[in-house]
């Protein structure tokens, strides 16, 4: 079945540091890939997505590139801020998993804390 493996953390950085959160996936078909962010006590918000190989998703200074050859979708940001402190989830939907059920498969999440 489909699966997502991401760096579990926690990750602690100083403000303006470079961020990488690793994410790799296993899928039988041609997945779309997502990063979600969850702030304390809230639901998940879509951060960025990529729907085919070599696509780069970007939003709010975050980027991730869909690498089919390494089955990866690593999240990066060049200079983190205190306000980026949150839990980050990598996820996928697979076009070929059970037809059109559009189920999202999530990684376990990575807690990021950014200190001033």
CB of 18 to another protein, least distance (A): 25
CB of 89 to another protein, least distance (A): 7
Q: Is 84 helix (H, G, I), strand (E, B) or coil?
A: helix
CB-wise, 18 or 102, nearer to another protein?
A: 102
CB of 69 to another protein, least distance (A): 20
| Alpha carbon distance, N-terminus to C-terminus of the chain | 41
CB–CB of 115/17 below 8 Å? Answer: no
CB-wise, 67 or 95, nearer to another protein?
A: 95
Residue 83 CA to residue 88 CA, distance in Å, equals: 13
CB-wise, 24 or 106, nearer to another protein?
A: 106
Helix (H) or strand (E) holding 65: strand 62-65
Interface ranges with another protein (CB under 8 A): 32, 34, 36, 41-46, 49, 51, 89, 93, 95, 100-104, 106-109
Residue 42 CA to residue 44 CA, distance in Å, equals: 7
CB-wise, 34 or 73, nearer to another protein?
A: 34
């Amino acid at each position: 079945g489909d699966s997502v493996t991401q760096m579990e953390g926690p990750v602690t950085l100083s403000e303006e540091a470079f961020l990488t959160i690793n994410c790799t996936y296993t899928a039988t078909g041609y997945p779309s890939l997502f990063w979600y962010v969850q702030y304390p006590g809230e639901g998940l918000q879509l951060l960025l997505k990529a729907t085919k190989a070599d696509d780069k998703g970007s939003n709010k200074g975050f980027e991730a590139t869909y690498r089919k050859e390494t089955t990866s979708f690593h999240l990066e940001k060049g200079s983190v801020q205190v306000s980026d402190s949150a839990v980050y989830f990598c996820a996928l939907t697979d076009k070929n998993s059970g037809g059109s059920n559009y189920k999202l498969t999530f990684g376990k999440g990575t807690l990021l804390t950014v200190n001033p």
